[in-house]
Structure 1
């Protein structure tokens, strides 16, 4: 059974699983019999149960649908209406994923800390460096690299080498799911030097909408006012997808309300 799940994990992180296979993965990781060597993947699937009673921004979805599907006459409207609904649904899934993963990230974060790396963590760190090293990406699977990223949650101490390793993974890993996992893991270390700045700068590098939306949601969630400038640039950049620009607009509004709660 474990071997079957591991094969499904590899296919899932490469974007090759069917809806039924993804349902099997969710059921497996929401159960009580997840073996120790697969525990690091649990957070990737457990958010579905937690997010079921949470409602992402309906105003955002409605505004997105209105912008992508403005009133039109004739038969064209029927097709564009379906496109808008699909697009809005995809955005809600993306935002739901980001929100759920943010929940698990902050649950795992505790107080963070600026402590020198302890001896008991060195083995985990060595494995992380081996799996996430740039030269190893051609010979490691996405699931192996996500497992390495998730090992950062188990570290009691952290040093700058670890955060830089995660930053490099966020910016340069070829697999979107690995980049999403690295971005989420970095939220545990937002109090470490240069991490928040790296998240802001990553918005200039990323071109994948899922990662862009995750970063916008993350920076808004930690109330990072310095991200406002990058959000504005994204809103003005017509090469950025409408759905991302709309999310950046929403992020700007939330940051403004956080800075001036009475306004």
Structure 2
């Protein structure tokens, strides 16, 4: 049985499932490489409209695999840099995927797992899930995941949890912005499904463009005139696009646009 499962349903929903329940879905260099490839595959597949990141077993992900960490301890500086770059590449690939991404979280999410969750556009967690940025307990720092976690929860909160390595609850993760929603175990699947159904109602091109818009203007350094010009060009471009025209026509004609399956 593969340590990572990948499937795309007839609606275009790709599900990447961590499948090492006996190791609490801890990842190593091999899994990082496989995840990078699968994220790229989903991003390049025109049939894929949504990506769900899930896990089998009691835990979402325990972070780095103990055997991998044991090997890393013997790496040279140059080998450690290459190893870290591979992880950074995987996280960047997930974070910038041109499709909406949803993390479905149950159980423990420790260390690098928090980075995976932060890289997803939205995350639904079980109320019983637990979170921890545990790196400093091992004499390490959460370096490669830091940009995404800080973006999700903010600098002030990160300063606490990066340094204390406290375990915090799903309820707190929801308040901090790491989780979009915290629901009961029984509601986890249905809540993710409701989110998927909402995403599938929308223009795939517009969803991708909206996601890119956030990346491009969130920390803009343009003056007001430049920003207005850039955003005006973007809305004009998508209005005259094939899906923009279809969406506007469907609205005016009071029918479903052609990207919604009957």
- TM-score normalised by structure 2 residue count: 0.28
- TM-score normalised by structure 1 residue count: 0.27
Report which structure shows greater RCO (CA 8 Å, sep ≥6).
Answer: 1
